[in-house]
Amino acid sequence: MINITAEVSNTRNDHDVTLTTNGNSHSITIPPKATGFGSSANGGELLFLALATCFCNDIYREAAKRGITVRSVKVDVSGDFDDAPGSVASNIHYRASIEAEADTDAIRDLAHYTDTVAEIQNTLRLGTSVIFESVDAIPVT
Protein backbone atom coordinates (compact mmCIF):
# COMPACT_ATOMS: atom_id res chain seq x y z
CA MET A 1 0.00 0.00 0.00
CA ILE A 2 1.29 3.45 -0.91
CA ASN A 3 0.04 6.35 1.21
CA ILE A 4 -0.01 9.78 -0.43
CA THR A 5 -0.94 13.13 1.07
CA ALA A 6 -1.03 16.61 -0.43
CA GLU A 7 -1.15 19.68 1.78
CA VAL A 8 -1.79 23.26 0.75
CA SER A 9 -1.23 26.10 3.21
CA ASN A 10 -2.29 29.52 1.99
CA THR A 11 -2.17 32.98 3.49
CA ARG A 12 -1.88 36.36 1.79
CA ASN A 13 1.03 36.19 -0.72
CA ASP A 14 2.15 32.77 0.52
CA HIS A 15 1.14 29.47 -1.04
CA ASP A 16 2.97 26.37 0.22
CA VAL A 17 2.49 22.91 -1.28
CA THR A 18 3.86 19.79 0.45
CA LEU A 19 3.52 16.35 -1.09
CA THR A 20 4.23 13.18 0.89
CA THR A 21 4.46 9.57 -0.26
CA ASN A 22 5.03 6.90 2.38
CA GLY A 23 6.48 9.47 4.77
CA ASN A 24 8.87 11.06 2.24
CA SER A 25 7.97 14.74 1.78
CA HIS A 26 8.93 17.34 -0.79
CA SER A 27 7.64 20.73 -1.84
CA ILE A 28 6.69 22.10 -5.21
CA THR A 29 6.50 25.78 -6.00
CA ILE A 30 3.15 27.14 -7.07
CA PRO A 31 2.90 30.88 -6.51
CA PRO A 32 -0.23 32.50 -5.10
CA LYS A 33 -2.73 34.30 -7.32
CA ALA A 34 -1.95 37.91 -8.19
CA THR A 35 -4.54 38.92 -5.56
CA GLY A 36 -2.35 37.22 -2.95
CA PHE A 37 -4.93 34.64 -1.93
CA GLY A 38 -5.34 31.16 -3.41
CA SER A 39 -3.20 29.32 -5.93
CA SER A 40 -2.14 30.64 -9.34
CA ALA A 41 -2.79 27.10 -10.65
CA ASN A 42 -6.42 26.03 -10.63
CA GLY A 43 -7.66 22.57 -9.73
CA GLY A 44 -8.42 21.63 -13.34
CA GLU A 45 -4.87 22.46 -14.37
CA LEU A 46 -3.51 20.36 -11.52
CA LEU A 47 -5.86 17.49 -12.36
CA PHE A 48 -4.61 17.49 -15.94
CA LEU A 49 -1.03 17.79 -14.67
CA ALA A 50 -1.67 14.69 -12.54
CA LEU A 51 -2.80 12.79 -15.65
CA ALA A 52 0.24 13.93 -17.64
CA THR A 53 2.66 13.21 -14.80
CA CYS A 54 1.23 9.76 -14.12
CA PHE A 55 1.47 8.70 -17.75
CA CYS A 56 4.99 10.12 -18.08
CA ASN A 57 6.28 8.35 -14.97
CA ASP A 58 4.52 5.11 -15.86
CA ILE A 59 6.03 5.08 -19.37
CA TYR A 60 9.50 4.93 -17.82
CA ARG A 61 8.39 2.26 -15.33
CA GLU A 62 6.77 0.04 -17.97
CA ALA A 63 9.57 0.59 -20.49
CA ALA A 64 12.14 -0.62 -17.95
CA LYS A 65 10.13 -3.83 -17.50
CA ARG A 66 10.36 -4.38 -21.26
CA GLY A 67 14.03 -3.49 -21.53
CA ILE A 68 13.25 -0.34 -23.55
CA THR A 69 15.33 2.78 -23.01
CA VAL A 70 13.17 5.89 -23.19
CA ARG A 71 14.99 9.11 -23.99
CA SER A 72 12.12 11.58 -23.66
CA VAL A 73 8.39 11.80 -23.01
CA LYS A 74 6.05 14.70 -23.70
CA VAL A 75 2.41 14.46 -22.62
CA ASP A 76 -0.31 16.97 -23.48
CA VAL A 77 -3.65 16.77 -21.66
CA SER A 78 -6.65 18.91 -22.50
CA GLY A 79 -10.30 19.02 -21.56
CA ASP A 80 -13.18 21.27 -20.66
CA PHE A 81 -15.03 22.54 -17.61
CA ASP A 82 -18.32 24.42 -17.68
CA ASP A 83 -17.98 27.91 -16.27
CA ALA A 84 -20.13 27.11 -13.24
CA PRO A 85 -19.27 26.15 -9.66
CA GLY A 86 -19.37 22.39 -9.17
CA SER A 87 -19.04 21.48 -12.84
CA VAL A 88 -17.11 18.36 -13.72
CA ALA A 89 -14.48 17.95 -16.40
CA SER A 90 -15.48 16.64 -19.79
CA ASN A 91 -13.87 15.88 -23.10
CA ILE A 92 -10.53 14.93 -21.50
CA HIS A 93 -8.01 13.77 -24.08
CA TYR A 94 -4.29 13.22 -23.95
CA ARG A 95 -1.55 12.45 -26.38
CA ALA A 96 2.10 11.61 -25.96
CA SER A 97 5.33 11.84 -27.86
CA ILE A 98 7.83 9.19 -26.81
CA GLU A 99 11.41 8.93 -28.04
CA ALA A 100 12.83 5.51 -27.25
CA GLU A 101 15.39 2.97 -28.38
CA ALA A 102 12.77 0.68 -29.93
CA ASP A 103 10.81 0.37 -33.14
CA THR A 104 7.58 2.28 -33.74
CA ASP A 105 5.32 -0.70 -32.99
CA ALA A 106 7.08 -1.41 -29.67
CA ILE A 107 6.76 2.24 -28.60
CA ARG A 108 3.08 2.36 -29.54
CA ASP A 109 2.42 -0.92 -27.73
CA LEU A 110 4.22 0.44 -24.66
CA ALA A 111 2.08 3.60 -24.73
CA HIS A 112 -1.22 1.75 -25.17
CA TYR A 113 -0.37 -0.69 -22.39
CA THR A 114 0.76 2.12 -20.08
CA ASP A 115 -2.58 3.85 -20.63
CA THR A 116 -4.32 0.77 -19.22
CA VAL A 117 -2.23 0.70 -16.02
CA ALA A 118 -1.84 4.45 -15.35
CA GLU A 119 -3.25 4.88 -11.85
CA ILE A 120 -4.62 8.42 -12.17
CA GLN A 121 -6.28 7.63 -15.50
CA ASN A 122 -7.86 4.52 -13.98
CA THR A 123 -8.99 6.45 -10.89
CA LEU A 124 -10.92 8.88 -13.08
CA ARG A 125 -12.23 6.22 -15.44
CA LEU A 126 -13.53 3.99 -12.67
CA GLY A 127 -14.48 6.71 -10.22
CA THR A 128 -13.73 6.75 -6.52
CA SER A 129 -15.36 8.30 -3.51
CA VAL A 130 -14.02 11.58 -2.16
CA ILE A 131 -15.14 12.26 1.40
CA PHE A 132 -15.01 15.66 3.10
CA GLU A 133 -14.25 14.69 6.70
CA SER A 134 -14.22 17.87 8.74
CA VAL A 135 -13.26 21.50 9.02
CA ASP A 136 -11.43 23.29 11.83
CA ALA A 137 -13.28 26.61 12.01
CA ILE A 138 -11.09 29.27 13.61
CA PRO A 139 -12.88 32.58 14.16
CA VAL A 140 -10.78 35.76 14.08
CA THR A 141 -11.75 38.35 16.67
**29-47 tens-digit pLDDT:** 999 999 999 999 999 999 9
Q: Which part of the chain has CATH 3.30.300.20?
A: 42-126
Top CATH class of 42-126 equals alpha beta
**68-94 tens-digit pLDDT:** 999 999 999 999 999 999 999 999 999
Kindly state the average pLDDT of the residues 14-25: 97
Spatial contact of 91 and 79, defined as CB atoms under 8 Å apart: yes
CA distance 33 to 107: 40
CA distance 85 to 79: 17
**pTM for the whole thing?**
0.93
Between the alpha carbon of residue 78 and those of residues 33, 68, 117, 120, the distances in Å are 22, 28, 20, 15
Per-residue pLDDT band at 103 (split at 50, 70, 90): very high
